Amino acid sequence: MAKLSAIRGFHDSTGDILERIERVEAVARKTLEFACYEPIRLPIVEHSEVFLRGVGHSSDIVQKEMYTFEDASGRSLTLRPEGTAGFIRAYLEHGLYKERPVCKYCYSGPMFRHERPQKGRLRQFHQVGAEAMGVSDPCLDAELITLADRTLRSLGLGEFEIHLNSIGCEACREPFKQDLVAFLQKNCTMLCEDCRQRIVLNPLRVFDCKVCKEAIEKAPVMLEHLCQECLEHFQAVKACLSAFGVDVNINPRIVRGLDYYNRTTFEIYPEEGGAQSVLVAGGRYDGLVETMGGPPTAGIGFALGVERVAERLQQKEKKPDLGVEKPSLAVIALGEQEKPALCRVLTKLWDAGTSAMPVWGPQGLKAKLRFVDKRGFRYALFPSDAGRMILKDMQAGSQSEGPSAETGWIMAHIHTL
Ligand code: HAM
């Protein structure tokens, strides 16, 4: 029989790695909820149309990365490649734009993209995202960037850079695109095949290309062609970030790969590392609600790549920071007759809030103690020959004995030692 295996780019996580992943998710959620972002849980599968309209036809995601399939009734469905489009679908579907035109939400969960798997690039990965609707005030842009910054700092990561840009609004981007297209056409022979196609599809994306860096070094950049309103917005974002005490690098090449952005775009990079290492990314998307069938509504958000941030933590920390050492207790079953007493002991321990792992199975005491020790448990509890219980401290090698009908002595012991 063929061996079963996980799909490439889809990972199982346990142990230290999972601990870090869950810590990243918890800290990011806590930071956002603390700033009054309300949690929202969104479906993992949506009608494909949500992403076609939301993320946009010219994006790599829609062009080549979506997991799209037909369900039994022939509807085209897609595993969500990102969270924003689904969030806007929900915002419109539940009439939140009428009921709560100004609102802030956060979410977390798996996303799916059919990319070529490599370090930092998975096909199933997790994001914690934040979306804020109905406010075009540049302070909101700064607030979101600040919250991303605070999340990374709360996790103990200090070595990262925030890259900030503005890609203007439709009014200033259209004439700029013509200038850019003229430049790209003139230098067409120096561009890679993908970028030649981008001239027609989405010329701004050439700034994302790793291959054509040199060829576009002298290309005009949007930041120098902003209209007065976009320029004022950008300057106000910078001033507000400075009031929040957050340092940023201005980088006119941050154009983002999804079609919905306007004005503010930002990406957070670890100090060293390329495109596959972007930890957090986001921006403003004031036209997206309209594109998806709603009224003109301002919006802005970001998403943090959980695995990428967890990976950075792993490089930084030798051992995961589990906080105070948990009293870990294994309750070893030996012999049929003692099992009911052990079940009662376990219930009492769990009821009293003491974590304990039962160890069943036919092995003898020695083998079970070895197993418990290998798993890093500090204490082992097992029945003695005289119908009492023995509590062994695996670290100190000492042991004490008590009645099996009571658990107070066990708890006192493991919490005072
Ligand atoms: P994004 O840049 O496509 O933006 O993804 C955000 C973050 O998700 C990236 O910076 C990265 O950390 C992580 N990420 C993306 N693709 C992968 C992958 N294949 N493997 C591992 N991690 C990955 C968005 O998704 C937008 N929805 C962000 C946003 C929210 N903009 C406004 N609101």
Report pLDDT for 325: 57
Going by alpha carbons, the residue nearest to atom 1 of ligand 1 is 281
- 85 and 158 belong to one structural domain: yes
Whether 416 has a pLDDT exceeding 70, the answer reads: no
Q: Does ligand 1 lie within 6 Å of residue 307's CB atom?
A: yes
Q: Residue 182 Cα, ligand 1 centroid: separation in angstroms?
A: 31
Residue 139 resides in a domain: yes
Residue 405 — very low, low, confident or very high, per pLDDT cuts 50/70/90? confident
Question: Averaging pLDDT over each range in 65-69, 183-187, 191-195, which range is the top one?
Answer: 65-69
Mean pLDDT in residue range 59-83: 96
- Residues 61, 134 share a domain: yes
For a pocket test of ligand 1, which of 82, 113, 260, 312 has the largest count of ligand atoms closer than 8 A to its C-beta? 82
Q: How far is the CA of 34 from the centre of ligand 1 (A)?
A: 22
For the chain, the domain total comes to: 2
* Boundary residue ending a domain (294, 316, 338): 316
Asked if residue 367 and residue 257 are part of one domain, the reply reads no
Q: Are residues 365 and 264 in the same domain?
A: no
Task: Please report whether residue 138 resides in a domain.
Answer: yes
Do 80 and 112 lie in one domain? The reply is: yes
Q: Which of 262, 293, 316 is the last residue of a domain?
A: 316
- Per-residue pLDDT reduced to its tens digit, 118-159: 999 999 999 999 999 999 999 999 999 999 999 999 999 989
pLDDT of residue 271: 84
135 lies in some domain:
yes
CA 397 – CA 383 distance, rounded (Å): 17
What was the pLDDT predicted at 371? 94
CATH of the domain at 370: 3.40.50.800
User: Do 311 and 347 share a domain, yes or no?
Assistant: no
Residue 201 lies in a domain: no
154 and 241 both lie in a single domain: yes
| Cα–ligand 1 centroid distance for 257 (angstroms) | 10
Rounded to the nearest whole angstrom, what is the distance from the C-alpha of residue 282 to the centroid of ligand 1?
Answer: 8
Establish whether residue 308 lines the binding site of ligand 1, counting it when its CB lies within 6 angstroms of any ligand atom.
yes
The pLDDT > 90 percentage for the chain reads 81
Residue nearest to atom 11 of ligand 1 (CA): 305
Same domain, 297 and 341: no
pLDDT band for 385, please (50, 70, 90 cuts). confident
The verdict on residue 409 lying in a domain is yes
| Residue 192 counted as domain residue | no
Would you say the CB of residue 81 lies under 6 angstroms from ligand 1? no
Determine which residue's CA is closest to atom 12 belonging to ligand 1: 305
305 lines ligand 1 (CB under 6 A): yes
Q: Is the pLDDT confidence value at 392 over 50?
A: yes
Name the closest-CA residue to atom 22, ligand 1.
305
> Confidence band (pLDDT; 50, 70, 90) for 417?
very low
Q: Does residue 145 have its Cβ closer than 6 Å to ligand 1?
A: no
> Residue 265 pLDDT > 60, yes or no?
yes
Same domain, 306 and 336: no
pLDDT of residue 26 exceeding 80? yes
Q: Are residues 301 and 341 in the same domain?
A: no
Please choose, from the candidates 408, 336, 342, the residue with its C-alpha nearest in 3D space to the C-alpha of residue 380: 342
Give the atom of ligand 1 at the shortest distance from the alpha carbon of 83. 27
pLDDT at 180: 94
> CB of 127 closer than 6 A to ligand 1?
yes
89-118: average pLDDT: 95
If asked whether residues 82 and 47 sit together in one domain, one would say yes
Whether 261 has a pLDDT exceeding 90, the answer reads yes
Q: Determine if ligand 1 sits within 6 Å of the CB of residue 278.
A: yes
In this predicted structure, what is the pLDDT of residue 326?
61
Kindly give the number of the ligand 1 atom that is closest to the alpha carbon of 268: 10
Least trusted range by pLDDT, from 39-48, 82-91, 332-341: 332-341
CA pair distance 308, 306, nearest whole angstrom = 6
Q: Mean per-residue pLDDT for 48-72?
A: 95
Q: pTM for the full model? A: 0.90
Mean pLDDT computed over 253-280 = 89
Q: Which of 316, 341, 366 is the last residue of a domain?
A: 316
Q: Is residue 58 part of a domain?
A: yes
- The reply to whether 410 falls in a domain is yes
Taking residues 288-296, report their average pLDDT: 96
Give the structural domain span for 241. 15-169+227-316
113 lines ligand 1 (CB under 6 A): yes
Q: 303-353, pLDDT tens digit by residue?
A: 999 999 999 998 888 655 554 456 689 999 998 888 988 999 999 999 988
pLDDT for 323 equals 47
pLDDT-derived band at 272 (thresholds 50, 70, 90) equals confident
Return the pLDDT at 318. 67
- Asked if residue 7 has pLDDT above 50, the reply is yes
CATH classification of the domain holding 141: 3.30.930.10
* Same structural domain, 305 and 388: no
